[in-house]
Structure formats: structure tokens, C-alpha cells
Amino acid sequence: MKISAIVNQFKANFMEDGNGSLAAASPQTSDRLVLKEHILEIVSDSGEGAQKAGQSFGAVSAKMGNGVWTVEIIPADIQPPPRTKESASGIRIRFGSEKITNAGDEADVLVAFNEIVPYTRIEQNVYREGTIVLIENKWATDESRDIRQSYATAIEDFKSRGFVVYEIPMEEECLRLTPNPKKGKNMWVLGMLSHIYDRDLDKAAAQIEYTFRSKSKAVVDSNLQLLQAGYDWARENLSLRYRIPSIEASQELVVMNGNEALSFGIQAAGIELCSMYPITPATSTSHHLAECIQSSGGIIHQAEDEIAAVGFAIGASYAGKTSVTITSGPGLALKTEFLGLAVMAEVPLVVIDVQRGGPSTGLPTKVEQSDLLAVLYGQPGDSPKVVLAPSTIEECFHFVILARKIAESFRMPVILLSDANLATGVQPFPRPELREEWLSPPVDQSPWKEGVTAYDWDEKTGLSQRPVPGQAGGEYTLTGLAHSSAAKVTYLPEINQKTAALRSRKLATFGRTLKPPRIHGDEEGRLLIVGWGSTRGAIEEAVDRAREQGGRVSSLHLRFLSPMEPGLKDIFRRFDKVMTIEINYSDSPDDPMITPENRRYAQLAWLLRAQTLVDVDCFSNVHGQPLRPGKIFARIQKELNQ
């Protein structure tokens, strides 16, 4: 492998012992503190590459067999001024001996490139007493008095918060190797962290090679040198030495974020057209697709707006190529009228909504789960459709394949609700074994069966087969107006009633194929937590923690929201209390003006209350942050102690 050649080369240059392998150069693990897991954050000014360092660190850890969840810290502005809170850009990596399903609670270690950027995160309470802060120390001797002062004040403040501060000469050390340390500091940091956590340096080098694959050899080499330098510096100067045992995975794994998983799902489903308009946090799916969908026989259309994007997808679906459109809240709002048409005219369609904070432009980069009611009830008139919510990154992949199948079999739009948390979270999962049956079948061009209408509804199931342009004898005019089975416009009362019922019946038919949801924990108890979407990992972790302390709490996670998985009422009856945990708005019972009668509940809670007539409570917020297991745990404890 040529990576090892390069590694050998810089090894000869920078290590006294030019013969030993890199692994041999790493210190004995016996003097290391063995941990079950750690949460690490790297925060820098936008553009300093903290994310790149963190992604590489996460990938290396996954390759070493650790469970990993990484999530990016994204600045809100495009060009925030440096050394400001707005400029904070970075990454959180939670990694451990076992599978990691969420971003976790307070960080154990923070690497900061200056003293200002951590404050964005401090305001979000993501550090605790004892959090180790490894901070660039060049600001202590900066020529500006203000900066020196600011640095000194912050360091004092960090200490008073109980952080354990290590001041690190990052830039000074990098300057030994490169005249422009701003560009390479992140790789030096990766080297430093690799020593602290006993990462496999060969794997880190391979990762750098991959990250900079489109760059010149000089760039790659310089980054590899910085990696080694950071590693060596930590070995000589830092006493922090951890070990997080891992088991080399028996299965082949892939590691990606939820949006990339969606992109892979689209291709594995054989969907040949993605029609979209850019919107955060959905766009990165399209970026990934744009890079590779042409190689798998598909294409991306960037439309002039979201209305045109969904119209284009519906046109292609009508012509036999079931298509996908990807969006987020504001775009979903624009697609509303076309969604109603797809329901009414029974056009298969896959809609992916990567939810963000709303209403309106809201919190573009932040997580919220607040489009559930909008997708269900956002269209005027009755508009039954299937709604799925993946709860893991792996499900982001598989649910697209499922969604296309449902859309085609049931001749209706299927909406997939992901969110910013899944979109940016990176997690390894077993590499899917692609199957031919996942791909959409070729467009049927055989003559249409004589005597069969365009909507030859089966009375029992509501299902019908659709003619596709090119099928001789199947000619019909699709319309969004009320229509008969022959697709003729009609306003006859009985026909409208009947066709509405048939469209609704399809949902019931599909619902009959679903199994009751699996309960995490005991089948009965004091408290049942119900969640949906990206919160699953955090909820189950909190439930496990409470159960370890004897709490009689269980949870269930709904992945089908329309129709809902069956048996909920029976399950709910077995618990003293049922409460949803969601990331969307609900009135708190003790808010001013709020009574049990006028309280507005979180979105799933509304649905469950209506569906089961159980007095389902909710715990939700719109902080724009992923829910932390610690917060959920505290809430569970509060409920159980009542």
C-alpha cells in the first residue's frame, strides 16, 4: 500500500527509530486509564478544520472497532468574523467500547483553537466540572493587549467553572514544520488526540490520505508530518493517556451521516430521479447524490423552486419512474398543493423531509421534529399518506427503499421524516448487501389490459394498478379533480364519498401489514416513554440508566406514524403513565394561562391522544439541540418519584 510507503518516509525523517512500525512506537497501554466511553469536542474558528480533524478521528475510531457518533457544530453565518462566538465551528465525537446511538451528555474533553469559540458551547451547557480543555496558547503572547487580556480572563473563567485546562503550543509546534500553521493545525491536533486515545496511527494516516485524495502529494505529506508531530508532542509532553477498548468488528461496516445514508438508499432503491431545491439541512443529501447518482443510472434535477421540484418528480413518477424530492420545512410548505394532487390522483412519490426548526425560516441548521402534523394534515381536504420516520442512520438508508416500494404498491406519496440530528450525525453500521429486488422494476410498456380502468379500485383494499404512458389501451387523463374509476371528472356525491374512502382504505390495508412496536424494557410498568425519529438512541439510553437504578420505565419508538403501528392502546394500558418525548413545541402545564383544557401538546402526543383516548403527556422543547440522555433521565426520575 502506498500509504505505508509515505508513512515510512516521514517516519524515517521524524522519528529517531526509523525501523520500528508506528504501532511499536506507541507507548504501552498499561499506563493508560481504561474508559468505557468518552465525549470529545474540537472547536475552532470557521475554516480552521476542526471538523475535518474530528471526522478523521471518528472514522479511525470506527475502524478500530469503537462505537462512534459524531455530530458537527456548524456556524450559523457563512463568513462569521474570527474569534467570535458566531464563528464556532467544530465537531463532537462520542466514542466507546459499545455501540453509540446518540451524541450524549456533557463533553469530557474539549480542544479549543481559541478562547472565545468555546463560549457558544458553554452557553449550551455541554461541558461540566472536570471537562478537560486543551487550548491553543498562542493568544497568551499575542501582540494585541486586548487578545492577551481576553485569553487570560477566559482561562481564569474556565478554571472557575471547574474545567481542567491544558495550554497547548499548537501553532508554535506546527511552525516548525509549516510556514502556514493555520492550514495544518487540525492535523497536528489529530496527531495529539491520536496519542491521548491510543489511536492506530497507520489508520489515521490512511484517513488523511483519503481526505486529501484530490490534493497534491506535497499537501498530503505535509499533513502526515503534522499528524506525526502532534502525536510525538503529546507523547513527550502530555500525561493524558486513555484507552477505550474495542472489538474489531466482525461484520464489514460503513460509516456515514444520515443524509449520505439517504442518498445511498435512493440509489439502492433504483430511484432514477431526485428533483430538489437547495435547503438546509436537506441539501447535503443532494450534494452526495450529485456526486454519484449518475454512475448508478440516475440524475438530479435542481428545480427553480420547491413547487417545481415536486411537480417535476410527480411528472416523472406519472411517466413510470417513481421519483424522490428532498426538502426541509419551508420547502415542504411549498410542496403542499402537489402532495394533495399526488394523494388525489394516486401518484407514487417519495418525499424526504429533513426537518429543522420552524416555523418559517426558523432555525435552519438546528434540529426539530415539528413537521409531523404538517405532513399529515398540511393539505386541504382529506389526504391520507404513509409517513415513516427513521430512528437511526442505518434506517435512513433502508427506509428509502421501503418508501419506494410502499409508494408504488399503494399508489400514493410516502413521506420520510428525518431531521438535522440524523442528517449530521455520523455512525457506523453494517454494510448493506445490495439486492436486485430493492431496485425499481423497469417501466411496464406492455399493452394495458382491455376493460380495466385507470383506477380499477379493489373495494376491499382500495388498491388499483396504474397505466403508464406508453401502455397502449391505458390512455387516461390524470386529474386532481374528483374522478370516477375511469378517471372521468365527476362531482357526484356518492362517488366522491366512495373514492375518499378507498384512498383512506389503502392506509388501513397497509396498516394491517404492520406489527405492534417492540417495547424497550418490560412489557408493563409505571412509565412508558414514546418517541419517534432521531431521539431513539438518547431515549433508550436514558431508560436503560433509569432501569439500572430500579426504575419501572420502558420506552417504545414509532417508526410508522401514518398509519401507526397497531396495538398501542393495549400497550399503553399496561403502564400507569404514558409520555412522549419529542423535539417540538408544547405548552408546559405550569406556563401562565395554560390549563389542562387549553394546553397544546407535542405533535406525536396530539396524535396518540386522539388515536388511543389515553391521557398521554409530553415532554418537549425547541432548543434546537439533540435531546440528551441525561436530560431525559432526569425527567424520567422526576416522573417516577412523583
Partner 1 sequence: MFGIKQDFICELPKKYYTLSNYEKGVARWCPGCGDHAVLSAVQRLCREEQLPPEKTVFVSGIGCSSRFPHYMNTYGFHGLHGRAFPVACGVKFRRPDLNVFVITGDGDCCSIGAGAWIHAIRYNMNITTILFDNQIYGMTKKQTSPTSRIGTVSNTHPTGSVLPPVNPLQTSLGMANASFVAQTADWVPGHLFATLKAGYEHPGFAFIKVIMRCSKFMGPLVEEMTTNRDAVSILTHENGIQPDEGTLRAFKNHRAHDPSDINAARELAEDKEVSYLGLFFQDKEAMRYDLYGAHNLGFSPEEKISAVNAQLDKYAV
Interacting residues with partner 1 (CB under 8 A): 59, 62-63, 210, 249, 252-256, 260, 264, 267-268, 270, 272-273, 275, 292, 294-299, 301, 303-305, 307-309, 311-321, 323, 337-338, 341, 428, 431-432, 434-436, 439, 443, 467, 469-481, 489
Write down the least CB distance from residue 235 to partner 1, Å.
26
Write down the least CB distance from residue 366 to partner 1, Å.
26
Exposure string over 255-290, b if 16+ CB within 10 A, otherwise e: bbbbbbbbbbbbbbbbbbbbbbbbbbbbbbbbebbb
DSSP 562-584: ETBPS-HHHHHHTEEEEEEEESS
Write down the least CB distance from residue 58 to partner 1, Å.
10
Closest CA to 531 of 542, 522, 523: 542
Write down the least CB distance from residue 211 to partner 1, Å.
11
Angle formed by the axes of helices 181-196 and 201-211, to 10°?
150
Write down the least CB distance from residue 196 to partner 1, Å.
21
Write down the least CB distance from residue 442 to partner 1, Å.
9
Write down the least CB distance from residue 479 to partner 1, Å.
4
Within 10 angstroms of residue 251's Cβ, the number of other Cβ atoms is 8
Nearer to partner 1, 85 or 301 (CB): 301
Write down the least CB distance from residue 384 to partner 1, Å.
19
Taking a C-beta distance cutoff of 8 angstroms, is the pair 227, 204 a contact?
yes
Burial-class residue 532 by CB neighbours within 10 Å (0-12, 13-18, 19+). buried
Rounded Cα distance, 551 and 537, in Å: 18
Nearer to partner 1, 321 or 635 (CB): 321
Nearer to partner 1, 12 or 472 (CB): 472
Nearer to partner 1, 25 or 303 (CB): 303
Taking a C-beta distance cutoff of 8 angstroms, is the pair 532, 561 a contact?
yes
Nearer to partner 1, 43 or 205 (CB): 205
Strand 88-96 with 132-136, pairing: unpaired
**Given the C-alpha cell 438518547, which residue does it identify?**
538
Nearer to partner 1, 14 or 476 (CB): 476
Write down the least CB distance from residue 3 to partner 1, Å.
15
Cell of 373: 402534523
Strand 386-388 with 560-562, pairing: antiparallel
Nearer to partner 1, 312 or 575 (CB): 312
Cell of 81: 468574523
Nearer to partner 1, 139 or 338 (CB): 338
* Residue 604 host element (H or E): helix 603-612
Nearer to partner 1, 63 or 547 (CB): 63
Rounded Cα distance, 138 and 45, in Å: 14
